[in-house]
Amino acid sequence: MILPDLAELVALRGAAVGLNLRAHRPPLARLQGAQRSAQRGRGLEFEEVRLYAPGDDARSIDWRVTARRGRPHTKMFREDRERPVWLLADLHPGLFFGSKRQLKSALLLRAAAILGWTAVLGGDRLGAVLAGGGRPRILPPRARQAGVLPVLQALVETQPRAPGAPEPAALAGALTTLRRLAKPGSLVFILSDFSGLDEAAQSGLAALAANCDCRLLWIVDPLESAGLPAGDFRVGLPGRLWWLSGERSRAPWRAAWALREQGLRDTARRLNLPLTRLHTPNDAATAVPPLLREPTWAA
């Protein structure tokens, strides 16, 4: 199967035209005031201190500067119109798999590219934390092409290029890293197959979701839920292959998948996080845009 390259991810800019990330903040988050103004991001950012003038808000008086200079001074703020949007891409080697159309890792890259372009075209700042192949890779939020192009290049470089065992700790490590970086009110898209959703990852997700608007995009392949067809198959990883009967393995295979599916759905429901699936048989350019137009997401 063909791996996405930078040229393909750049071309997905066209699929993002007309999309909007701002129409889908949960109503509860809006009521609780995660942002301090109607603008994007944290709403107001400190700009300078000046002499207090009649009519200024007394709550903004800078008492330290006032005491030091002997005259009332007030803090001035400016509107922060660029909201941080983060992509967390869980690109462990287990995503080098796909039975229909494309690899799971390829679908993740294409979906992330559309989301990234949507963010910067909407005036937001784009950052990313990429898990896979060691320590998480961090790209701080930046605006316009200066934000999206380095993220796309990093996605291409980080994608798995050969089959391999999943990295159970990768997702938890990336969530912990992003929790330290993301400002309150940031929008976070978590793209993963969630095979590493252990207790540590669930704790990291809960901590991140407490301050940020998080969305879960679940990358799935039909073979994972349906099981193997009739016949005998060589399965496993290079150097660790064995024969598996489709008929005899199907019932336990489906039972294991149902357990994993229910665990992820329960986690999303408990944390009040939108969860949606992206399927490898579907083209990302047609699958992702409807998710950004619908008022609610459901897996």
Which string of DSSP letters, residue by residue, matches 265-293? HHHHHHTT--EEEEETTS-HHHHHHHHHH
Query: Residue 291: pLDDT band by 50, 70, 90 thresholds?
Result: confident
- The pLDDT assigned to 163 comes to 84
How many CB atoms are located within 10 Å of the residue 34 CB? 18
Of 243 and 51, the structure prediction assigns the larger pLDDT to 51
pLDDT at 39 over 90: no
pLDDT at 41 over 80: no
Q: How far apart are CA 165 and CA 135, in angstroms?
A: 16
Domains of the chain, start order: 6-26+82-293 (3.40.50.410), 43-80 (no CATH)
Which tokens belong to 198?
């252990």
Specify the pTM.
0.78
Segment 207-227 shows an average pLDDT of 92
- The chain-wide mean pLDDT, for the chain, equals 84
Q: How many CA atoms lie within 13 Å of 291's alpha carbon, on the beta-carbon side?
A: 26
The residue written with tokens 């092409």 in the block is: 145
DSSP, res 44:
E
Residue 196, C-beta contacts closer than 8 angstroms, at least 6 positions apart: 90, 92, 166, 167, 168, 169, 170, 171, 172
Q: Is 126 helix (H, G, I), strand (E, B) or coil?
A: strand
Q: How far apart are CA 244 and CA 194, in angstroms?
A: 24
Segment 110-123 shows an average pLDDT of 95
Quickly list H helices, the chain: 6-11, 13-16, 27-32, 63-69, 104-121, 144-158, 170-181, 199-209, 222-226, 246-270, 284-293
In single-letter form, the type of residue at position 247 comes to: E
